Structure 1
């Protein structure tokens, strides 16, 4: 018990301290060019994961196209998901994230300066305008990652996917890369207070799904295809992490 308390205290203190330092670094680097912050984000992610003793691996990263931009679509289990992604995806990528995260002092400013996209998740005019901006950004300068379930899964079971990722990819005319992560929900369960030190985490990346020739009328079919692809990848990720819901 004492050991677990000490590990949790260390992981929590390190995460807060590292995030504070790197938020400032990312903000400064992003003032010139958002791409300049990519290396700092990778180092931040790997450092926070190490502070919690997380053992992480990624397979299938060779499927990520070296050229051009893509929409990444992934399941969502934990705040640690983004850390695992930054640690292993070496492609200029930013997130579609809930607007509340952008209100966190220092961290929120860094997210905005780095080029992440806030959404209220209400489906209102503001969200539609931001997604329209995201289409332009996706075509011109950055790949975008969606947590397609819209919220974290507490029990590890996949939830129905939202249509936003499919719509964005079709409108921008870029491929969609499905991914799945497993094990992160056990590091610090939603509502939990103790970090599970040494948790195994796996990220599995699938082959790109093209969107050329698709129209908005195809968004439902593409969304179902993405659900199926992520489900298959998730099954492999669960085996690798040892977390089988």
Structure 2
């Protein structure tokens, strides 16, 4: 089938699901102020977006997730379907830290608010700090947080430098950090393009770095170890050998 067909189908599906499940999310938010019921609807939303657009998602390492404890998932960022696949296929109460502008989108933004997601305006240091504190509260309430430390989607699959932030959040909330490697999602919607190319996504969950180890080691060494795990899993399982080599050579980002 042509890329045009898949692209049109994607936008039809996402609009219809946004209308139907968006209303369900909002209603669940009225029933349950914790956001747990709304996130379950959002999780279904993510799974259907993948399945109905021909995206097969494989998850490896689910045994490393803690169903009875909050955690911070540290993931490489490949494309839009990172969010759909993680939300849809990880059996956790996830809370996302997302751009504040997304919360203004009808149905989508209202659903994010009902699900307890955290808006952030990175241009404002004060508001970014408020989002940081709100994320810690979500963790203390028993939810898990997903962080993309590269800060933006990779345009070519190369895993970029990691920015700081997750380490301090883990120390404040006293939770483990879990490396998550995403493979294949960047090919589905390439950065700067709106064309859909269906394909498989693989999610590889690594062993968590426990709070005691995080608190005992320097921030740079913890981030470097997590990034090394993600890069190694990417190198072993991603098909693009050029990307694998470049990913292994990028050092962690020294700045906040």
TM (norm. structure 1) is: 0.90
Counterpart position of 1:226: 226
- Cα contact 1:148–1:162 (8 A) shared by 2: yes
For residues 10-89 of structure 1, what are the structure 2 equivalents within 5 Å?
Answer: 10-33=9-32, 34-89=35-90
Aligned-residue CA RMSD (Å): 2.0
For residues 55-134 of structure 1, what are the structure 2 equivalents within 5 Å?
Answer: 55-122=56-123, 124-134=125-135
Aligned pair in 2 of structure 1 residues 5, 137: CA closer, same or farther (>3 Å)?
A: closer
Distance 1:216 1:102 in 2: 37
How much has 1:8 moved relative to structure 2? 1.9
Distance 1:6 1:215 in 2: 50
- Cα contact 2:95–2:138 (8 A) shared by 1: no
Aligned pair in 2 of structure 1 residues 59, 129: CA closer, same or farther (>3 Å)?
A: same
Counterpart position of 1:184: 185
TM (norm. structure 2) is: 0.86
Distance 1:81 1:233 in 2: 16
Distance 1:67 1:193 in 2: 38
Alignment: residue pair count: 240
Distance 2:113 2:120 in 1: 12
- Extract unaligned runs of 5+ from structure 1: none
